[in-house]
């Protein structure tokens, strides 16, 4: 055989083989799509955490593994309670979670399998997305969707929480940077904590002093009994208005839900009577199913919210007269939320005093007393600005101006 011909043959074979591979791959992908989207089967050989695989061939599917499912539920609950991921991991490990790696918890929280759903890739012009699986869910869908929105929101917070220095990452140096927390060992062998700015010569605040001052500020935030009654009255009116509005929304959403369900039945009906092919059936099924899940979620959410609103209002209003108690009895995470909210993320420290340009109106009525007692100086933005440059939205400052204005200590 002439070399040229041999070369041509080899090339042809290669092409044919390639073609065969492509065909096979389409068949395989189509098979995967059918199995997942239409039959609700979980296909990968390794079961997700919380499940085991049972059965043979087409009957092979996911079965809930009770001991692990408990841990999965704990992880989702903890996420809804705003517990940071590393803390969730600690808790989970305590009760027997063994998966390694920093992403292990996130992977569980993001996996739709726990809500009884399967994530299916688009195939040709078949729709991809979430499809109901044949397996038993571990988490209800409402919770799962709530966790998804929560994860999206909380991507930026990554500060380590330390109970000895609860204000780390919140309290700011006048240069705009949040001081790091540090501990140094005293003569007695005890540790003393400081909030220390990274720039030399800036703040080095004794945590003991700062922490003693803070409840004093909170005490003065408390509002008098008669004001509380007035607020209660006003808030009730406002709440009733909101609830009426919500009720209307729920009614509209329920109507929409009924309509979508009707449409879904109609499509099913058509398919059973062979009036549409399986492709269109699948496309519509996926679209309607998605809207049904979303509508149910938002109806549930609005209902729960309005039932809780009055309870929350009454509980919280009672606390307004006891602000020092609110702060001191709170755990570190709540303390941080509290400080961020009251001072709108702008709490500084200088010359042994807290300072802020922003404070919740309701709680700042005693601010002159706070100043006299050497606890906090509350100056509205204009005056505050004269003294130091306010940091930008992203926490950055013009460092040269900051230094020029920096003359404490």
Residues engaged in binding Zn ion (CB under 5 A) = 173, 175, 197, 199, 202
- Write down the least CB distance from residue 179 to Zn ion, Å: 7
Measured at the CA of 332, the angle between CA 330 and CA 338, to 5 degrees, comes to 65
CB-neighbour burial class of residue 208 (10 A; exposed 0-12, middle 13-18, buried 19+) = exposed
Of 203 and 222, which CB lies nearer to Zn ion in the complex structure? 203
- Of 338, 393, 389, 409, the closest CA to residue 175 belongs to 389
> Helices 66-80 and 141-153: crossing angle, nearest 10°?
50
Beta bridge mates, 119? 130
- Of 114, 122, 119, the closest CA to residue 62 belongs to 114
- Write down the least CB distance from residue 228 to Zn ion, Å: 39
Instruction: Name, in order, each residue with C-beta under 8 angstroms of 350's C-beta and a sequence gap of 6 or more.
Output: 174, 203, 408
Of 154 and 204, which CB lies nearer to Zn ion in the complex structure? 204
Of 41 and 177, which CB lies nearer to Zn ion in the complex structure? 177
Alpha carbons 61 and 51: distance in angstroms, whole number: 9
Beta strand extents in 241-370 (DSSP E only): 347-350, 353-356
- 3-state SS assignment for residue 53: strand
Of 171 and 217, which CB lies nearer to Zn ion in the complex structure? 171
Other beta carbons within 10 angstroms of residue 95's beta carbon come to 10
Alpha carbons 396 and 281: distance in angstroms, whole number: 54
Of 173 and 217, which CB lies nearer to Zn ion in the complex structure? 173
Residue linked to tokens 């399998």: 113
- Write down the least CB distance from residue 170 to Zn ion, Å: 15
- Write down the least CB distance from residue 261 to Zn ion, Å: 59
- Write down the least CB distance from residue 406 to Zn ion, Å: 7
Of 75 and 210, which CB lies nearer to Zn ion in the complex structure? 210
Whether residue 288 contacts residue 265, with contact meaning beta carbons closer than 8 Å, is answered with: no
Beta bridge mates, 61? 54
- Write down the least CB distance from residue 310 to Zn ion, Å: 45
- Write down the least CB distance from residue 175 to Zn ion, Å: 3
Of 141 and 202, which CB lies nearer to Zn ion in the complex structure? 202
- Of 117, 119, 126, the closest CA to residue 30 belongs to 126
Of 118 and 165, which CB lies nearer to Zn ion in the complex structure? 165
- Write down the least CB distance from residue 392 to Zn ion, Å: 15
């Amino acid at each position: 055989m002439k070399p040229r011909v041999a070369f041509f043959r080899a090339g042809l074979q290669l092409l044919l083989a390639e073609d065969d591979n492509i065909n096979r791959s389409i068949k395989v992908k189509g098979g995967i799509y059918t199995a997942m989207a239409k039959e609700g089967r979980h296909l990968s050989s390794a079961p997700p955490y919380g499940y085991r695989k049972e059965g043979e061939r087409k009957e092979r599917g996911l079965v809930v593994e009770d001991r692990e499912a408990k841990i999965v539920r704990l992880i989702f609950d903890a996420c809804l309670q705003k517990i940071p991921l590393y803390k969730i991991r600690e808790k989970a490990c305590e009760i027997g979670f063994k998966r390694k790696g920093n992403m292990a918890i996130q992977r569980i929280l993001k996996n739709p399998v726990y809500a009884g759903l399967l994530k299916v890739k688009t195939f040709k012009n078949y729709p991809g997305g979430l499809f109901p699986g044949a397996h038993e869910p571990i988490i209800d869908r409402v919770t799962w969707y709530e966790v998804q929105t929560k994860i999206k929101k909380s991507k930026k917070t990554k500060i380590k929480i330390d109970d000895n220095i609860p204000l780390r990452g919140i309290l700011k140096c006048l240069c705009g940077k949040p001081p790091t927390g540090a501990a140094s060992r005293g003569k007695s062998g005890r540790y003393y904590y400081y909030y220390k700015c990274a720039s030399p010569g800036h703040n080095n605040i004794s945590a003991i002093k700062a922490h003693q001052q803070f409840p004093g500020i909170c005490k003065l935030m408390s509002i008098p009994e008669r004001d509380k009654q007035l607020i209660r009255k006003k808030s009730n009116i406002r709440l009733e208005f909101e609830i009426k509005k919500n009720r209307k929304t729920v009614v509209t959403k329920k109507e929409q839900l009924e309509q979508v369900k009707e449409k879904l039945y109609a499509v099913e009906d058509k398919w059973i009577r062979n009036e549409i092919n399986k492709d269109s059936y699948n496309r519509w099924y996926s679209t309607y199913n998605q809207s049904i899940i979303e509508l149910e979620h938002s109806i549930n959410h609005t209902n729960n919210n309005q039932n809780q609103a009055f309870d929350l209002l009454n509980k919280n209003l009672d606390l307004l007269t006891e602000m020092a108690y609110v702060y001191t009895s709170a755990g570190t995470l709540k303390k941080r939320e509290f400080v961020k909210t009251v001072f709108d993320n702008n709490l500084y420290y200088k010359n042994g005093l807290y300072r802020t340009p922003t404070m919740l109106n309701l709680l700042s009525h005693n601010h002159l007393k706070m100043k006299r007692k050497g606890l906090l100086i509350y100056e509205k933005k204009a005056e505050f600005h004269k003294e130091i440059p306010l940091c930008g939205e992203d926490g950055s400052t013009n460092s040269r101006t900051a230094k020029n204005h920096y003359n404490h200590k």
